[in-house]
A = this chain, B = another copy of it.
Amino acid sequence: MDESEIFRALADPTRRAVLERLLTGERNATELREGMSVSQPAISQHIAVLRGAGLITEQRVGRHVRYAVNPEGLQPIVDWLTRYRAFWPARIERLKTHLKDMDQ
């Protein structure tokens, strides 16, 4: 329900990069950090923000933690955006195409 927290979490490019990496499958913190030029604590803190915003879930597996996108996490802002649907004249066709793709 707290859109502010979600938007704030998404406002940081490093956190969006983490999320997008999770789109291709679950990862642990070390894997999420690969190729990024930030310290281990920095990633850990970003992960905490994403988790606080409900955007990711975590599951401890041994001494690793597997992170994954939380499917429900983005819903509040998707809902928020649908209020602006009357202002999406140009994109509406593309969105419909996406939805048709999903039907198949």
Interface residues of A, count at CB 8 A: 38
> Are A87 and B102 within 8 A (Cβ)?
no
Q: Which one, B4, B78, B90, B94, contacts A81 given CB within 8 A?
A: B78
From B75, B77, B83, B91, give the contact of A20 (CB < 8 A): B83
Further pairs besides A78-B81, A95-B99: 15, Cβ < 8 Å: A3-B16, A4-B11, A4-B16, A16-B80, A20-B83, A23-B83, A69-B84, A69-B87, A71-B88, A71-B89, A74-B81, A74-B88, A75-B90, A86-B102, A96-B99
Interface, chain A (partner B; CB < 8 A): 3-4, 7-8, 10-13, 16, 20, 23, 69, 71-72, 74-75, 77-92, 94-96, 98-99, 102
